[in-house]
Amino acid sequence: MRLVRSLYSPPKDSRKGDNGRLLIIGGSRDYHGAPIFSILAARRFVDLVYFYPAEKDPYLIGAVKRIPEAIVVYDLKSPAMRGKIDCILFGIGISNAKIAVPDLPGVKLVIDGDGLKRVRGKIPPGAILTPHENEFRMLFRIEGNARNVKMMAAKHRCIILKKGPIDIISDGKRTVTNRIHNQGMTKGGTGDVLAGLVAALACKNDAFTAAWAGAVITGNAGNMLKSKYGYNFCASELADMLTESFVALKKK
């Protein structure tokens, strides 16, 4: 598939960190699983995955620390973090945590889940938003059809991946759709998997390509699971299937 084949590929002389450094900001006392699904999705597609807890909940931090690829950080302003991040995924599972949308110049931003509530009326230019229909209506007060998705992406100078039976992806100039998925992907956590993959791809690809390819790869992973288990699969299995989906699509 040309879209997937066009994605960034690590050069032979690259070193650790050259091929993607992702920071995930999320989780709360209410929701521990959301950032874990995003980390599981991202960890095979970037060199380094950092995690900053939206709330300093010991159960959340302990759960994330069980993922060996995740690096937990506690201070976003520390010198150790400067210059290390290519993209930030913000908002998954933050619930009512008192945390602001990060503003780091030169760093791409993906906003999902509860994070979308924090940008209503002030969307950061260049950000990737991943709303479902209800979240799109909450943000823009209109329905999420193709025309409106394109119009809002152009107005706010952002990229929108509007999830639904037909995904709509637009940067305000280009608009594409994705029908590759199935109704087994309505289960909790699958959106966190998608957001994690999109953010990982955005580390080394342009934002529009990352959003489009993320939707296709994730949907194809869901279809591969459906062929094995019917609709009886879960979000963690979807995250684990992303690499197989990527390889299969790259061969098409």
Q: Which residues contact 78 (CB under 8 A, 6 or more apart)?
A: none
Paired tokens of 80 = 């150790």
Nearest to 158 by CA among 190, 122, 134, 125: 125
Residue 196 domain-assigned (yes or no) = yes
Which CATH number fits the domain that encloses residue 234?
3.40.1190.20
Whether the model pTM is above 0.95: yes
Half-sphere exposure of residue 204, counting CA atoms within 13 Å on the CB side?
19
pLDDT for 81: 75
Residue 1 domain-assigned (yes or no) = no
| Boundaries of domain holding 121 | 17-251
Residue 24 domain-assigned (yes or no) = yes
Terminal CA-CA length for the chain: 5
Q: Which residues contact 16 (CB under 8 A, 6 or more apart)?
A: 47, 48
Residue 115 domain-assigned (yes or no) = yes
List residues bridging with 147 in a β-sheet: none
Residue 7 domain-assigned (yes or no) = no
Left, alpha or beta for 20 (phi > 0: left; psi -120 to 50: alpha)?
left
Residue 51 domain-assigned (yes or no) = yes
Pairing of strands 108-111, 128-129: parallel
CB-CB neighbours of 161 under 10 Å: 28
pLDDT for 212: 98
Residue 104 domain-assigned (yes or no) = yes
Q: 22-53 pLDDT, tens per residue?
A: 999 999 999 999 999 999 999 999 999 999 99
Residue 117 has pLDDT above 80, yes or no: yes
Residue 70 domain-assigned (yes or no) = yes
Pairing of strands 108-111, 87-90: parallel
| Structural domains of the chain, count | 1
Q: 60-111 pLDDT, tens per residue?
A: 999 999 999 999 999 988 776 777 899 999 999 999 999 999 888 889 999 9
Residue 15 has pLDDT above 90, yes or no: yes
